[in-house]
Amino acid sequence: MTMRDRVGELALIRAEVLEGVPRATEAQHAKGKLTARERLSLLFDEGSFTEIEQLRRHRATGFGLEAKRPYTDGVVTGWGTVEGRTVFVFAHDFRIFGGALGEAHAAKIHKIMDMAIAAGAPLVSLNDGAGARIQEGVSALAGYGGIFQRNTKASGVIPQISVMLGPCAGGAAYSPALTDFVFMVRETSQMFITGPDVVKAVTGEEITQNGLGGADVHAGTSGVAHFVYDDEETCLAEVRYLLSMLPANNREMPPAAHSADPADRRCEQLLELVPLDGGRPYDMHEVIAELVDDGEYMEVHETWATSVITALARLDGQVVGVVANQPRSFAGVLDIHSSEKAARFVQMCDAFNIPLVTLVDVPGFLPGVDQEHGGIIRHGAKLLYAYCNATVPRVQVILRKAYGGAYIVMDSRSIGTDVSLAWPTNEIAVMGAEGAANVVFRRQIQAADDPEAVRAQLVKDYKSELMHPYYAVERGLVDDVIDPADTRSALIRALSMLRGKHASLPSRKHGNPPM
């Protein structure tokens, strides 16, 4: 046999691998799902994907495995480019063993994860698998352990994005939970530790797969999923968009982009969007859209813990992370879930050198027995810890209310924000004037001939003396009170000044945050 014969033989094998089994491909399409290779063609720049270990096969014997040894062993691994930047990937191929993980399958994933960490490039996983391969027993379980260990090693070093495009059950669900972002597709992707049959057997509850662990459940109820979309094409396009906002690793800055939106653009619309009355709601999304380049931003956890907004955007072409109270949802209070949501986002931004912009309009922490018993102190401390620990440039803007501990937690001057700005509508205080008057002057009000008139006067006095717009700036807790229309330009100037910021933390193995 000549060299040409060998090359021809190799070409035939590769063609067979790429084509797959038509019947299995048809079954995948019948479920409304793309194949692993079709997904890779949508994720990467055209012609840029390089596959490794395409001809890997399992070596397991017994339980019928020896009769079926397909190439790739059910997972495609390699690297390519997204908008010209290197990205590593592993993609489960549901057509082979249902994408179930065995020893060889896991070894391929381990290898590509190690390569991504060594190269300092993002890792994307396209998940569509049936969990551990039962026929391979403990070897499959050990394979998952190796993945979890590498997820943790890569955390805060390279961006890790999990894209759920099919089932993900049992221990397999913990790998996506360890990554930075989780994408899901409605109807076709599910995540759960125990499936509906086990739930029914143990608790008697009957529920569907989507009802238990579908995309909308994890996007709006559990908070496991950061993004959810109706189809795979849109989902993968948004993964590409997210990658364009992230650095390759923690040693780089996020990629800058040219912006045609003037840095000194006045935002006159803000004067109309935000009511003067602190009790009237408005949509903070509209404020963010008015401030950022071309009104474009990518909201993270859009439907979970909606009293706070977390989003990635650009200001003068530079990526920023935005954390903002949302007055249209529970008046913008901080509760257990919103504190955790914001803390996780702040932590991610700090890990990947993304400056933070915090827009404050917060009446306080949500009161209630459920909140206290649920650990609001511990969960609120997560956000406090995340901000205090962050060394990236940080700019705070106080739009209206900033009361009590929630004011401190929302990146106040006292916990280390670099620049604190406020609108002329700001009210910074321990609590609202009504509550303060009732506490401080309770006896005086009760003893008065006309308690309501006395209370009204005391509220007015409290506001004029301790809650006027210049009280905090007079004491150096706010750097400047600005015209709301100048907020965009003020943010851009502050962030430009802070671009060379260098801050360090005390030498330690790691902190001990309130997990």
Known catalytic residues are 170-171, 405-406
- Please provide the distance, in angstroms rounded to a whole number, between the alpha carbons at the two ends of the chain: 63
Q: Letter for the amino acid at 347?
A: Q
Quote the CA–CA distance of 133 and 139 in Å, as a whole number: 9
- CA separation for the pair 358, 363 (Å, rounded): 15
State phi, psi for 437 to the nearest 5 degrees. Answer: -65, -40
Is-contact 359 400, C-beta < 8 A? no
Sorted by sequence, the CB contacts under 8 Å of residue 264 that are 6+ apart come out as: 489
- Beta-strand ranges (E) seen in 93-213 are 123-127, 160-164, 167-169, 181-185, 190-192
- Is residue 333 classed as helix, strand or coil in its secondary structure? coil
Identify which of 266, 239, 242, 264 has the alpha carbon closest to the alpha carbon of residue 254. 242
Per DSSP, 220 falls in state I
**Nearest of 190, 133, 194, 196 to residue 164 by alpha carbon:** 190
411 Ramachandran zone, left/alpha/beta (phi>0; psi -120 to 50):
left
Give the SS3 label for residue 125. Answer: strand
User: Sheet containing 75-82: which strands, arranged edge to edge?
Assistant: 50-52, 75-82, 85-92, 123-127, 160-164, 181-185, 227-229
- How many residues are listed for the chain in this entry? 515
Question: For residues 214 and 186, is the Cβ–Cβ distance under 8 A?
Answer: yes
Q: Please, are residues 365 and 376 in contact by the beta-carbon 8 Å criterion?
A: yes
Instruction: Transcribe 378-396 into DSSP letters.
Output: HHHHHHHHHHHH--S-EEE
Q: Judge whether 126 and 164 are in contact, CB under 8 Å.
A: no
